[in-house]
Amino acid sequence: MFKFFENLVDPYCDYPELDTPPRKLWPFMAEYARPFKKIFALAAVMSVVVAAIEIFLIGYMGRIVDLLAGEPAQVWATYGTELILMALFILFVRPAVQALDVLLLNNALLPNFGTLIRYRAHKHVLRQSVGWFENDFAGRIANRIMQTPPAAGEAMFQVFDAMTFSIAYLIGAAFLLSESDPRLVLPMLGWVVLYGLLVRWTTRRVGPASQKASDARSQVTGRVVDAYTNIHSVKLFAHDDREMDYAKGSIEYSRQTFQEEMRIYSIMDVVLVMLNGVLIVAVVGWAFWLWMQGMASVGVVAAATALTLRLNSMTGWIMWALTSFFRQLGVVAEGMETIAQPISLVDDPMAPELNLTSGAVELKSLSHHYGRGAGGLDAISITIQPGEKIGLVGRSGAGKSTLVKLLLRFYDPEGGHILIDGQDIVRVRQDSLRDKIGMVQQDSSLLHRSVRENILYGKPDATEAEMIASAKKAEAHEFILDLQDSEGRSGYDARVGERGVKLSGGQRQRITLARVILKDAPILLLDEATSALDSEVEAVIQETLYGMMKGKTVIAIAHRLSTIAQMDRILVLDGGHVVEEGTHAELLALGGQYAGFWERQSGGFLNADEAAE
């Protein structure tokens, strides 16, 4: 039975991916709610039916009170069958209706609605550019992805569990009282007006207050996760106290926003108790007065009393449900600041895959300043022939990393074009572009997964033998076999920790190299590929790298000039321009920046003398 309701909606169903999601709350919610339309309609109907049954039972209790005025034997003879049927209704029909209502809400709606939002939100965020992630805390992004789905699910739950039910209940209560005596409806209507004003006052304040509190919680998460992610730096500089002060500021702000939110609820609760007192005294008092005048039966008084007491107990729940609804919407609104941001780096819907034939790379008047008008690259033009090996040299900020990021299309250039085999990379699918490029970065961070999973990231369908062969080429196989994690997994199954923290820098770099070797892409980008290796291992890895480079187009960034001395051509970047170009020997003979870099390099780099010769 549970499986049937749990599978009424597939949270992973196909859907049109929007590069620009709705930025307003209700259109945003409606977009995610499309697969649940039938569930919502049925849940609304069941909520009304449940409310109607509750009202009917209260009215029937008043009828029983009136029946008690007769002789027991006569009452049973006349109404026995009716009473038995009513008992069967209460024992079997009412639980069945209630069960259907609960199963729709608890099993069909809540788990699937939150899952759908989390899945689609995560998928949307993953499509964002690298630059987008660089502008926010990873912890805050993750917190919004995690807290928005349950908030949206809870909001929808309150719509059908409380709001639809309460509206139906109030209408039914008014009908029941009017059936007894129309004048009994008047005090209830007056109370409804006052109750509505309280609801309006509360909901207008609780939504913004909740959004503010939710944003403050996300800020706390962002700062805390930032400290944990960089715990080595925190400990290295002995800045535990500084980090606590940094976190305390956001924690205190979170406390203050939560206090402001709770003040609204305190005022609401006190005023609600006063309003409910007015309701009980007005309705029951009027019913009692009608009975004294002989204008109402004891059953009417009993039903009116039961109804108002039931409303008294319900109003707090309804108010809390309403405020919870708007509070959760506030959380959703805060989450939308991340989830509903448009994708800035998109493919044309008709974009073809990159058709790489030879690996020629051409930069035409390429400019990119990260929107600052300075820095980065400034109208550079470079042609790299198929299979040519290019070295990039320059001071920090010269534009080397910018060139690599643009080539990978982590950003779209602000000016100019990048062509690969004559195809503008902006006009081909991003995934197909990056599939043809292998990249070894200076920051060799790994996924918090097994060594096997990290290496196979380069080629998920590779065989075990291919994976091990790539590890051996990267001089990683031997140390991998000696690895063991805290849960007893060893070798290629051992977990490497967040960002590979359980491994040394050299070990991380070698696993990264193994991953790129396994990928075997026709274009190879190296950004200080051997920076974390000791000299002995570097000498061996250099031979591996030169083997990898055969037949590939290579762009290598290096501060150790000995590592790129054997490149076909070396480009010296300065201020976003190519200021020198030539082979190692030609640039030394030129006596310019490159020659100065070479002269200032300290000794001890392997093969430096041979490279100079």
The amino acid occupying position 331 is V
> Would you state the pLDDT for residue 532?
54
Please give the backbone phi and psi of residue 611, each rounded to the nearest 5 degrees, phi first. -65, -40
Averaged pLDDT score across all residues of the chain: 84
Rounded average pLDDT over 201-230? 84
Pick the CATH number of 351-436+523-531+551-613 from 3.40.50.2300, 3.30.365.10, 3.40.50.300, 1.10.357.10: 3.40.50.300
Which ranges constitute the DSSP H helices of 353-462? 400-407, 430-435, 451-456
Average pLDDT over residues 443-453: 84
The pLDDT, as a whole number, for residue 537 is: 64
351-436+523-531+551-613 and 442-520, same CATH topology: yes
pLDDT bin (cut points 50, 70, 90) of residue 605 is very low
The listed range with the strongest mean pLDDT (111-120, 297-306, 533-542) is 111-120
Residue 275: per-residue pLDDT: 83
pLDDT of residue 427: 93
Please answer whether residues 426 and 416 qualify as being in contact, where contact means their C-beta atoms are separated by less than 8 angstroms.
no
Tokens of 579: 């200021």
E strand or H helix that includes residue 420: strand 415-420
Place of tokens 């977990």: 495
- The mean per-residue pLDDT over the stretch 92-115 comes to 92
pLDDT at 180: 67
What pairs with residue 570 in β-bridges?
A: 391, 582
Instruction: Please determine, for residue 198, whether its predicted confidence score (pLDDT) is greater than 70.
Output: yes
pLDDT score, position 95: 93
For 270-320, how does the pLDDT look when each residue is reduced to its tens digit (9 = 90+)?
888 888 788 788 878 878 887 887 777 787 777 777 777 777 777 777 777
Per residue in 151-167, pLDDT tens?
898 888 888 887 787 78
pLDDT of 117 higher than 60? yes
CB atoms within 10 A of CB 419: 16
- Give the β-pairing of 577-582 and 415-420: unpaired
CB 524 within 8 A of CB 549: yes
In 3D space, the residue among 183, 507, 199, 472 whose CA is nearest the CA of residue 325 turns out to be 199
Residue 603 vs residue 541, higher pLDDT: 541
Mean pLDDT, rounded, for 3-19: 91
Hey, is 309 helix, strand or coil?
helix
What residue spans define the domains of the chain?
19-339, 351-436+523-531+551-613, 442-520
2.60.120.620, 3.30.70.120, 3.40.50.300, 1.10.3720.10: CATH of 442-520:
3.40.50.300
Nearest to 79 by CA among 65, 96, 67, 62: 67
Burial class (CB in 10 A: 0-12, 13-18, 19+), 74: exposed
Which one-letter amino acid corresponds to residue 56?
Answer: F
In this predicted structure, what is the pLDDT of residue 531? 61
Confirm if 34 and 9 have CB atoms less than 8 A apart.
no
Q: What is the DSSP string of 128-195?
A: S-HHHHHTS-HHHHHHHHHHHHHHHHHHHHHIIIIIHHHHHHHHHHHHHHHHH-GGGHHHHHHHHHHH
Phi, psi of 423 (to 5 degrees): -105, 125
The pLDDT value recorded for residue 39 is 92
Fold observed for domain 19-339: ABC transporter transmembrane region fold (1.20.1560)
The model's confidence at residue 602, banded by pLDDT at 50, 70 and 90, is very low
Mean pLDDT along residues 330-343: 87
pLDDT at position 522: 92
| CA atoms of 523 and 116, how far apart (whole Å) | 38
Whether the Cβ atoms of residue 229 and residue 498 lie closer than 8 Å to each other: yes
